[in-house]
Amino acid sequence: MHGCMLICMNTSVLAEPPTFAAAVPTHDSATSQAARGHQESTLLAAFFQDVLLDLSTYLRLVVFLPPSSVTSATTRSQAAQSEEEMEEIRRGPWTTEEDLVLIKYVAQHGEGRWNALARCAGLKRTGKSCRLRWLNYLRPDVRRGNITPEEQLLILDLHSRWGNRWSKIAQCLPGRTDNEIKNYWRTRVQKHAKQLHCDVNSTTFKDAIRYVWMPRLLERIRAASGGAAFSASCTSPVATATAAAAAAADPPPSHPLKQPERATLGPETVESSLSEDSLPTPFSCFADCHSTTMQGWGGWEPDSLSLPVCCDEQGGWPSGDLLSSESLWSMEDDWFMQHQIQSYQPYC
DNA sequence: AACCGCTTCAACCGCAACTGG
DNA sequence: ACCAGTTGCGGTTGAAGCGGT
């Protein structure tokens, strides 16, 4: 959305160049504004509507000098030029002006050849930096905002299959970047592991995700969309396609619970009874989510542990506040996981 | 108001894979 | 086959924001 707005705005600017009659803030003020961090779309709007571009900037951004003229410094020796470039390379937050230059250039010339792009567009950035800025922030289809429960579920599921293959996981979440997913994992998921005094890669924590977190996400999704609506969403083209693509593109590795580390757990543990077939993906769960219970989720065996907090007395789903929390994690969950951790102490 | 600690996330870094000459 | 340049990926960092004191 944000990215779209950027492009739309840029396009409108192309169609209707801003007037320069009004007195305008200096470049410094525009730059400092941008340096505040995340340039919201409103800031960019302000950039064009209220803020101003002096004529030379306008020419560069809107009329856009062809690359050949931008790189007219061919008279300089290559060595001197590269030396100069080394000195001029900018780092740190991107300014609105830089963003616009990049957007404009990509709109005209397409993505790729980032080093050349950086040079030709007159950006004092490395090609790497340009690529990153474009892919993670400026790309029209980049999606911003909170990670939805559906996306969380998918991330948790795909991470259990592929590990830290952020780029690969991101391909299954349209509009989300690998960086965003990686940050989500580190800030949210790892935080919970820390709270539980458990390594994020430990099987115990993975179980927590599988048996507590993911079912709760499923329930939250169901609660949010209602039964019928949820069933419909379960079979949405995106969900189906991404799940199918994920499965087809690269079959999941041998199930984590069946990996060597898991084999050491012994037959008395909960997951020892699990088979690969009994571990559905969230999407396969969607289909029969109405009848899903903890017992149905991945072959849960309540006898192995005390009643999971995510079940009510009838073995059903919890309701109300417990599921409404942003983190889907509660003190009860902590208690539950601590209980599990005690059981698994040697393995955590 | 000032400070502090924590969280978030954009951006950077290093390395590996890829590509073209 | 080799090499240099480029691209992509995952890990890490640090600035900004925010809430608590």
Q: Whole-number Å distance, CA A84 to C1' C2?
A: 30
Residue A212 has pLDDT above 60, yes or no: yes
- Closest nucleotide to the alpha carbon of A111, via C1': C7
Instruction: Please give the Cα distance from A92 to A126 (Å, whole number).
Output: 12
State what percent of residues in chain A have pLDDT above 90: 1
Residue A40 CB closer than 7 angstroms to strand C? Answer: no
More confident residue, A321 or A90: A90
Question: Worst-scoring range by mean pLDDT, A76-85, A92-101, A197-206?
Answer: A76-85
Residue A91 CB closer than 7 angstroms to strand B? Answer: yes
Residue A92 CB closer than 7 angstroms to strand B? Answer: yes
- Closest nucleotide to the alpha carbon of A181, via C1': B9
Per-residue confidence at A333, pLDDT binned at 50, 70, 90?
low
Residue A127 CB closer than 7 angstroms to strand C? Answer: yes
Residue A178 CB closer than 7 angstroms to strand C? Answer: yes
Q: Whole-number Å distance, CA A114 to C1' B18?
A: 15
At A134 the pLDDT is: 92
Closest CA to A310 of A180, A202, A220, A184: A220
pLDDT tens per residue across span A21-57 = 222 222 333 333 333 333 444 344 433 333 333 333 3
Q: Whole-number Å distance, CA A115 to C1' C5?
A: 10
More confident residue, A124 or A24: A124
Residue A105 CB closer than 7 angstroms to strand C? Answer: no
Residue of least CA–C1' distance to B9: A183
Mean pLDDT within A180-189: 87
pLDDT tens per residue across span A233-248 = 333 334 444 444 444 4
Residue A135 CB closer than 7 angstroms to strand B? Answer: no
What mean pLDDT, rounded, does chain A reach? 56
Nucleotides of C under 7 A from a protein CB: 5-12, 15-17
Mean pLDDT within A126-154: 87
Residue A102 has pLDDT above 70, yes or no: yes
Residue A101 has pLDDT above 80, yes or no: yes
Residue A162 has pLDDT above 80, yes or no: yes
Mean pLDDT within A130-143: 88
